[in-house]
Structure 1
Amino acid sequence: MTTSEDEVAAGMTETGATGQVRTAPGGSELPLTEAYDTALLDLDGVVYAGPNAIEYAAESLAVARDGGMRLAYVTNNASRPPRVVAEHLTELGIPAEPADVINSAQAAARLVAEKVPAGSKVLVVGGAGLVEALAEHGLVAVSSLAEQPLAVVQGYDPSVGWQQLAEASYAVASGLPWVASNTDLTVPTARGIAPGNGTLVAAVRTATGVEPEVAGKPLPPMHRETVIRTGAKRPLVVGDRLDTDIEGAWNGGVDSLLVFTGVTTPALLLDAPVEHRPTYLAADLRGLLTAHRAAVAVDGGFECGGWRAWAEDGVLRVSGAGEDRYDGLRALCGAAWTAGPGLDGRKALAELGF
């Protein structure tokens, strides 16, 4: 388990920081609130969806907090400063302080601070979240190459337009180091899916032919930032996305809980490559409050909570009558992850009620 900044930064291999390949969801005899000291929670799709809290989120997090688990909110969105996010959470009935929020702007600012002297000017393509994060490290945000910055940092903000992207392109082309808070291609809004920071980064990349250094999930700088700021000894990553939250946990060598309140579906989970396989899975944040049965390999298949799953002739099959359909999904994941990708799991998922 990760216990220090040095350990977070070290040991990143093609099979993850632990060198382990997960072949089935794991189990915990203790409720996860007792097995781990800190929950590193993604926000959108896990805690809230736009302006509204997700069902059971506030109640579950209150029980977890009252039981002694530290709650930290970890987001790739660099546009809003931590105090603004904390205020939004509090309005939703989830009390939070600015120190409870860790965003990719903070991880990006730390990377920049490691490259330039204190007091340096940094060209910012983004919003208030980046400006405040740079100030925390004694760096000065500027908006033009004419102000002689020593680095460029880019993060999502709805105000970013052509002029800022052009200024960034001139600066990057001049040879300045370039850090991106994250490269998520899309961002959810109240009106639907819109271009995210990855799309804006692509504009500068296309203009310059240069690749930025990226700070956000699923890459190690973001995980390092969360551990530094929370002091977590036994962290549990909680998320809804396989390619950011779960892969970020895998890169950091820590356990993860996938909830199905956001973008990931059971069908996507069955085809997950090794870096996208969570330790635990649950319908929603109530999964923090319970023990979890492990899927166990038995006679060419996997069993969990009264369900048995196996692969046969390119098709995933399931039988049994367990009380919890998520136990059936755990067994089905074991069968799918062991047999390999491309299996037809539609009928088995339907039998489980997914």
Structure 2
Amino acid sequence: MADALRDAYDAFLLDLDGTVYHGSRPIPGAAEAIRQLREQNSPVRFVTNNASKAPGDVAGHLRGLDIDATADEVSTSAQAAAKLLGERLPAGATVLVVGAAALEDEITAAGLKPVREAGDDVAAVVQGHNPATGWADLAEACVAIRAGALWVASNVDTTLPTERGLLPGNGSMVAALRTATGAEPEVAGKPEAPLFVTAARSAGASRPLAIGDRLDTDIAGAVNAGVDALVVLTGVATPATLVTAIPAERAQYLGADLGALATPADELRIAPQPGWQVRQDGGTLVATGDGDSLALLRTLCAVAWDTGVTALRPGGERATAAFTELGLPTGGEPIR
């Protein structure tokens, strides 16, 4: 039997929201998949763009979901933002915080002075996810940014996967300030590389695998860091967004969920898969054959990425059923 994907890498860099859990609800199979990684002594790191919780709180939340975790295994975008500001500003500089207490604590740990109101001494604004952020918080940040303060966003995820579905993420709040100020923030978390590089280094890894559900952050961050990636379909990514993914957001592997780590690597690789044939007919890709729907999706992605064609059409009853299962259009129209 071919080796499982988890046997090909020496550390695993896991996204959390949409990959391991949805808010307070664990994603089925995630705890068992992580337990199996630990049983084979594979280092695990939790790499999250959510800046609203301290590493210890994140680890505690994971333990509450029956997933072993320690604070030193957690890398957050709040830590990345504080590190960036600590490198850019003199010690003791004043930073206006738009975010949770965890982000404020990281700013303090970096030797900077966190405040919540704009003033003449504010050197920078740091913005991270906080469900309690309101107009008054954005107004203070707007004043400081317009006065010339450096603006750093922990991340720009527009949505946050939760047990209730996709809800506004930090990127949605960043967009409000971007509109109000005409300014553009520096981004500290994913898709920038430092979170992955730091996490891999802490695990002593030379060949880590990144795993996530978002193409524009998790997978793009892996690409930027030069790390192989597995994209899972438990959060934001969909079959349609995978087929149309730009080169900077393309993973090497595709799985339904973290349970895919036990599957042979070749079966997960985004490449033509046995049982399915995809041919180009003018400006349309026509799929025929039989087999697993995700195997078809891997084949479709490979051919679409190679040809640039995103108009898809099933050829035959089984292909039509697989398209329907994947939520892909069956009329031959381009995916937008």
Short-chain TM bin = 0.7 to 0.9
- 1:342 paired residue number: 310
Q: CA deviation at 1:242?
A: 1.5
- 2:82 paired residue number: 109
2:196 to 176, 199, 223: 223
2:169 to 161, 174, 196: 196
Whole-Å separation in 2 of the counterparts to 1:296 and 1:84: 35
Are 1:79 and 1:127, in contact at CA under 8 Å, matched by a contact in 2?
Answer: yes
- 1:263 paired residue number: 236
Pairing 1:123-162 to 2, within 5 Å after superposition: 123-146=96-119, 148-162=121-135
Are 2:210 and 2:229, in contact at CA under 8 Å, matched by a contact in 1?
Answer: yes
Whole-Å separation in 2 of the counterparts to 1:211 and 1:303: 40
Amino acid across the alignment from 2:99: G
- 2:43 paired residue number: 70
Amino acid across the alignment from 2:149: L
Q: CA deviation at 1:94?
A: 0.6
TM-score, normalised via structure 1 length: 0.82
- 1:291 paired residue number: 264
Amino acid across the alignment from 1:89: L
Whole-Å separation in 2 of the counterparts to 1:295 and 1:340: 21
Give SS of 2:119's match.
helix
Pairing 1:189-338 to 2, within 5 Å after superposition: 189-293=162-266, 303-322=272-291, 324-338=292-306
The alignment status of 1:98 with 2:71, answered yes or no, reads yes
Give SS of 1:151's match.
strand
Are 1:295 and 1:304, in contact at CA under 8 Å, matched by a contact in 2?
Answer: no
Q: CA deviation at 1:315?
A: 3.2
Whole-Å separation in 1 of the counterparts to 2:106 and 2:207: 26
Whole-Å separation in 2 of the counterparts to 1:268 and 1:207: 30
Report the identity percentage. 48
- CA distance change for structure 1 residues 225 and 173 in 2, over 3 Å: closer, same or farther? farther
- CA distance change for structure 1 residues 76 and 349 in 2, over 3 Å: closer, same or farther? farther
Q: CA deviation at 1:47?
A: 0.6
Give SS of 1:111's match.
helix
Q: CA deviation at 1:99?
A: 1.4
- Structure 2 residue runs of 5 or longer lacking an equivalent are 327-336
* CA root-mean-square deviation: 2.5
- CA distance change for structure 1 residues 350 and 64 in 2, over 3 Å: closer, same or farther? same
Are 2:96 and 2:124, in contact at CA under 8 Å, matched by a contact in 1?
Answer: yes
Paired residues in the alignment total 321
Amino acid across the alignment from 1:216: G
- Structure 1 residue runs of 5 or longer lacking an equivalent are 1-28
* Larger displacement relative to structure 2 (157-166 or 197-206): 197-206
- CA distance change for structure 1 residues 295 and 314 in 2, over 3 Å: closer, same or farther? farther
Q: CA deviation at 1:306?
A: 3.5
Between the two structures, name the one with larger relative contact order (CA 8 Å, sep ≥ 6).
1
Give SS of 2:237's match.
coil
Amino acid across the alignment from 2:223: W
Whole-Å separation in 2 of the counterparts to 1:157 and 1:194: 12
- CA distance change for structure 1 residues 345 and 227 in 2, over 3 Å: closer, same or farther? farther
The alignment status of 1:79 with 2:47, answered yes or no, reads no
- 1:6 paired residue number: none
Q: CA deviation at 1:189?
A: 4.3
Q: CA deviation at 1:185?
A: 2.0
Whole-Å separation in 2 of the counterparts to 1:119 and 1:349: 62
- 1:26 paired residue number: none
Whole-Å separation in 1 of the counterparts to 2:121 and 2:44: 40
Whole-Å separation in 1 of the counterparts to 2:273 and 2:254: 13
Give SS of 2:44's match.
strand
Q: CA deviation at 1:41?
A: 0.9
Are 2:119 and 2:144, in contact at CA under 8 Å, matched by a contact in 1?
Answer: no
Whole-Å separation in 2 of the counterparts to 1:243 and 1:233: 24
Are 1:293 and 1:327, in contact at CA under 8 Å, matched by a contact in 2?
Answer: no
Q: CA deviation at 1:192?
A: 4.4
Q: CA deviation at 1:40?
A: 1.1
Q: CA deviation at 1:68?
A: 1.7
CA displacement, residues 196-228 of structure 1 (integer Å, 9 cap, x when unaligned) = 222222232233322111112112343344345
- CA distance change for structure 1 residues 190 and 332 in 2, over 3 Å: closer, same or farther? closer
* Larger displacement relative to structure 2 (275-284 or 187-196): 187-196
Give SS of 1:293's match.
helix
- 1:14 paired residue number: none
Q: CA deviation at 1:136?
A: 2.9
- 1:32 paired residue number: 5
Whole-Å separation in 2 of the counterparts to 1:81 and 1:57: 22
